[in-house]
């Protein structure tokens, strides 16, 4: 008997990650400048790191409460009021091992066998497998470059999402950098209420918006009770490796997620929770400084693409822009660019329907590399 | 042209072309050039310097921080004394500070001898100066917001979701 003969159907159903394949290609190239990285190039703010060190020195190495340290939940509750979100630290917030765990908990808690999970695409690559592992049926909802990759009720309708049970949202978006305004979310909210869906809203990039403030669908009328909001420390605080996120929702939802979490994870990493608490208390300036730096890079990249004639909508969030591949073949362009100019970026098609013909360009890379990468892309296009 | 954004950018890295600055601010290159001229001519931006890690440079280079106590009289104020001290090219910075002494001076020279000579022959004899304390810089860990240790390597995966 081998494990290979006993793969579960759900595991078999999920194909190997396209981004993994590209990673392996990039690893074979020397001196690669990578615009393919989905995490900040900064380190976590020093104050947060020292808080983690302090906690270790004080011997804080035990489990915490399943839902996370009370103080941390209180700090989170206070912080999210800036997005108009109000959640009780007592029973409406759960701290998790990265927002990724929180999303997985929600799939496992709310997606039953055969439940349809509508996933606007192009999207972060974990939602579809997550829905499948939970037994759900992913329903891709393509979004379009013409709409600047925002989600519209028309796109939902066209994809048949009126029959879905759950809708996943991720704005600001990975991979497109798209954001959604309050008005655009209001239209989606009407669709959701009309067709009685639950919403899983991944707002991990909420702090990284460059033209306006973050808007959350959970703050729309009638939406709080049917929405789980995910957020975390990875992107805004450059704490990806500390693995700390959280989910917020009505008590019965958080209870259900906590049930899965307490058996699967017990509690999120304690050291990371101390870092996160300090991040919320003392690192606003550091976050703002990083945001400004991303914004300068964003404008730089958009300006350079414009100069070299690469079509790209003005992405206003996260740290990605999503230009069109010049001849429409994103995979060929990305592979050619890697081989000939040693610049790595990710072909849009790995992010699902609507991503094909586009390229995800991450500007979580220093200005010096960015400048050089843009020159190389320009050379590659010219040739 | 938002001057604060321009200043933020210059303080972060002033050695960029006007075109690159314009791209990062989403502004017109001519507007950036004009704003730079204005910042310089109105005296808001006084200069641009390299941040040097002297350990990486062979030349002997000595720096000292000097505390200076002064006694004011009816005719002489801080500004007047400061002007007299600031004119010496050896003085890199001069600040009036609160606390147990009055002025805080950064002095640079080619040798310890040159620096101590400068303090004893140029600063100490100023009539209002009652006391100086010279601290030679033995090592430097951070200058102008930049850490001088070995930079952290970028150990992120080259491609990640």
A281-321 pLDDT, tens digit per residue, is: 999 999 999 999 999 999 999 999 999 999 999 999 999 99
Residues of B in contact with A304 (CB under 8 A): 23
- Which top CATH class is B54-138? alpha beta
pLDDT > 90? residue B2: no
Do B26 and A303 form a contact (C-beta atoms < 8 A)?
A: yes
Distance from CA of B17 to the nearest CA of A (A): 11
Cross-strand bridge partners of residue A246: A95, A231
> Exposed, middle or buried by CB within 10 Å (0-12, 13-18, 19+), for A31?
exposed
pLDDT of residue B154: 85
For the ranges A228-242, A294-308, B21-35, B47-61, the lowest mean pLDDT is seen at: B47-61
Q: Output the CA angle A310-A315-A317, nearest 5 degrees.
A: 150
Could you give the 3-state DSSP secondary structure of residue A360?
strand
> Exposed, middle or buried by CB within 10 Å (0-12, 13-18, 19+), for B121?
exposed
Out of A17, A23, A293, whose CB is closest to B157? A23
Do A351 and A246 form a contact (C-beta atoms < 8 A)?
A: no
pLDDT > 90? residue A256: yes
For residue A184, the tally of other CB atoms under 10 A from its CB is 20
* Separation CA B8–CA A18 (nearest Å): 39
Predicted confidence (pLDDT) per residue in A32-82, tens digit = 999 999 999 999 999 999 999 999 999 999 999 999 999 999 999 999 999
pLDDT of residue B58: 75
Task: Give domain A4-43+285-382's CATH number out of 3.40.47.10, 3.40.50.300, 2.40.10.340, 3.90.1150.10.
Answer: 3.90.1150.10
Mean pLDDT of chain B: 94
Out of B12, B152, B158, whose CB is closest to A32? B158
* Separation CA B82–CA B100 (nearest Å): 17
Predicted confidence (pLDDT) per residue in A338-369, tens digit = 999 999 999 999 999 899 999 999 999 999 99
* Separation CA B26–CA A49 (nearest Å): 34
pLDDT > 90? residue B155: no
- Predicted confidence band of residue A329 (pLDDT cuts 50, 70, 90): very high
pLDDT of residue A212: 96
What the block records as the tokens of A42 is: 């900064």
Out of B24, B154, B157, whose CB is closest to A296? B24
Percentage of residues in chain B having pLDDT higher than 70: 100
HSE of A12, CA atoms in CB hemisphere, 13 A: 7
Q: B158 vs A126: CB contact, 8 Å cut-off?
A: no
Q: B152 vs A124: CB contact, 8 Å cut-off?
A: no
pLDDT > 90? residue B92: yes
Residues of A in contact with B157 (CB under 8 A): 23, 37
Query: Once rounded to an integer, what is the mean pLDDT over residues B94-108?
Result: 97
ipTM of the prediction? 0.86
pLDDT of residue A213: 96
Q: B160 vs A296: CB contact, 8 Å cut-off?
A: no
Backbone angles phi, psi at A210, to 5 degrees: -110, -20
> Do strands A320-321 and A359-362 pair parallel, antiparallel, or not at all (unpaired)?
antiparallel
Predicted confidence (pLDDT) per residue in A176-231, tens digit = 999 999 999 999 999 999 999 999 999 999 999 999 999 999 999 999 999 999 99
pTM (predicted TM-score): 0.94
User: In chain B, where are the structural domains located?
Assistant: 3-41, 54-138
> Cβ of A342 under 8 Å from any chain B Cβ?
no
Percentage of residues in chain A having pLDDT higher than 90: 97
pLDDT > 80? residue B151: no
Give the E-state strand segments of A46-182 in sequence order. 93-96, 116-121, 137-142, 166-169
- Predicted confidence band of residue A121 (pLDDT cuts 50, 70, 90): very high
Using CA atoms, how far residue A328 sits from A149, A331, A333, A347, B10, in Å, is 17, 9, 8, 11, 38
For residue A289, the tally of other CB atoms under 10 A from its CB is 15
| Domain A46-282, classified CATH 3.40.350.10, yes or no | no
Give the E-state strand segments of B91-140 in sequence order. 91-96, 103-109, 129-136
What the block records as the tokens of A75 is: 């700090």
Mean pLDDT of chain A: 97
pLDDT > 90? residue B1: no
Residues of B in contact with A299 (CB under 8 A): 23-26
Of residues A287, A227, A261, the one with CA closest to residue A100: A261
Which residues in chain B (71-130) have CB-CB distances under 8 A to chain A?
A: none
Q: B161 vs A27: CB contact, 8 Å cut-off?
A: no
Percentage of residues in chain A having pLDDT higher than 70: 100
pLDDT of residue B55: 87
pLDDT > 90? residue A17: no
pLDDT > 80? residue B78: yes
Q: Which residue is closest to A28 within chain B, CA to CA?
A: B158
Using CA atoms, how far residue A310 sits from A263, A322, A328, B51, in Å, is 49, 10, 11, 37
User: In chain A, where are the structural domains located?
Assistant: 4-43+285-382, 46-282
* Separation CA A204–CA A208 (nearest Å): 9
Q: Which residues of B6-19 are buried (b: 16+ CB within 10 A; e: fewer)?
A: beebbeeeeebeee
pLDDT of residue A1: 87
Could you give the 3-state DSSP secondary structure of residue A377?
helix
Q: A41 vs B158: CB contact, 8 Å cut-off?
A: no
Do A41 and B151 form a contact (C-beta atoms < 8 A)?
A: no
> Cβ of A300 under 8 Å from any chain B Cβ?
yes
**Which site among A46, A121, A300, A335 would you substitute to test the B interface, given the most B Cβ atoms closer than 10 Å to its Cβ?**
A300
pLDDT > 90? residue B31: yes
pLDDT > 90? residue B59: no
């Amino acid at each position: 008997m081998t494990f290979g003969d006993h793969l579960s159907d759900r595991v078999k159903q999920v194909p190997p990650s396209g981004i993994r394949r590209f990673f392996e290609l990039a690893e074979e190239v020397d001196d690669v400048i990578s615009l393919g990285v989905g995490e900040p190039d900064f380190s976590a703010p020093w104050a947060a790191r020292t808080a983690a060190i302090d906690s270790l020195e004080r011997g804080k190495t035990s489990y915490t409460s399943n839902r996370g340290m009370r103080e941390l939940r209180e700090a989170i509750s206070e912080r999210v009021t800036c997005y108009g979100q109000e959640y009780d630290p007592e029973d409406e917030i759960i701290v998790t091992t990265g927002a990724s765990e929180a999303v997985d908990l929600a799939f496992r808690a709310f997606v039953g066998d055969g439940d349809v999970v509508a996933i606007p695409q192009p999207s972060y690559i974990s939602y579809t497998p997550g829905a499948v592992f939970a037994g759900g049926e992913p329903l891709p909802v393509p979004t379009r470059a013409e709409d600047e990759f925002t989600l519209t009720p028309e796109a939902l309708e066209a994809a048949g999402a009126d029959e879905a049970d759950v809708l996943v949202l991720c704005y600001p978006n990975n991979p497109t950098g798209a954001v959604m305004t309050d008005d655009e979310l209001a239209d989606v909210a009407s669709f959701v209420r009309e067709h009685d869906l639950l919403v899983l809203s991944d707002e991990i990039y909420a702090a990284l918006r460059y033209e306006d403030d973050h808007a959350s669908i959970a703050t729309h009328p009638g939406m709080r009770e049917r929405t789980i909001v995910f957020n975390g420390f990875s992107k805004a605080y450059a704490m990806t490796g500390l693995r700390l996120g959280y989910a917020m929702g009505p008590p019965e939802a958080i209870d259900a997620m906590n049930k899965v979490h307490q058996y699967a994870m017990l509690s999120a990493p304690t050291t990371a929770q101390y870092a996160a608490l300090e991040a919320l208390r003392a690192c606003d300036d550091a976050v703002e400084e990083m945001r400004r730096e991303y914004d300068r890079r964003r404008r730089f990249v958009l300006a350079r693409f414009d100069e070299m004639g690469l079509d790209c909508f003005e992405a206003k969030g996260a740290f990605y822009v999503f230009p069109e591949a010049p001849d429409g073949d994103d995979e060929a362009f990305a592979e050619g660019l890697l081989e000939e100019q040693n610049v790595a970026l990710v072909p849009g098609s790995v992010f699902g329907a609507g991503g094909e013909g586009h390229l995800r360009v991450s500007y979580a890379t220093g200005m010096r590399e960015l400048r050089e990468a843009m020159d190389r892309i320009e050379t590659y296009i010219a040739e | 042209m938002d001057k604060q954004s321009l200043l933020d950018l210059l303080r972060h890295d002033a050695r960029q072309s006007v075109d690159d600055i314009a791209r990062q601010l989403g502004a017109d290159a001519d507007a950036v050039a004009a704003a730079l001229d204005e910042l310089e001519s109105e005296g808001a931006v006084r200069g641009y310097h390299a941040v040097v890690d002297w350990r990486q440079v062979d030349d002997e280079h000595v720096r000292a921080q000097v505390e200076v106590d002064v006694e004011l009289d009816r005719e002489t104020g801080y500004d007047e004394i400061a002007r007299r001290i600031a004119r010496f090219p050896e003085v890199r910075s001069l600040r009036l500070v609160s606390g147990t002494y009055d002025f805080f001076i950064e002095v640079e020279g080619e040798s310890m001898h040159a620096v101590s000579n400068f303090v004893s022959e140029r600063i100490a004899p100023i009539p209002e100066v009652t006391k100086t304390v010279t601290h030679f810089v033995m090592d430097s860990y951070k200058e102008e917001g930049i850490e001088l240790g070995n930079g952290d390597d970028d150990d992120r995966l080259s491609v990640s979701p």
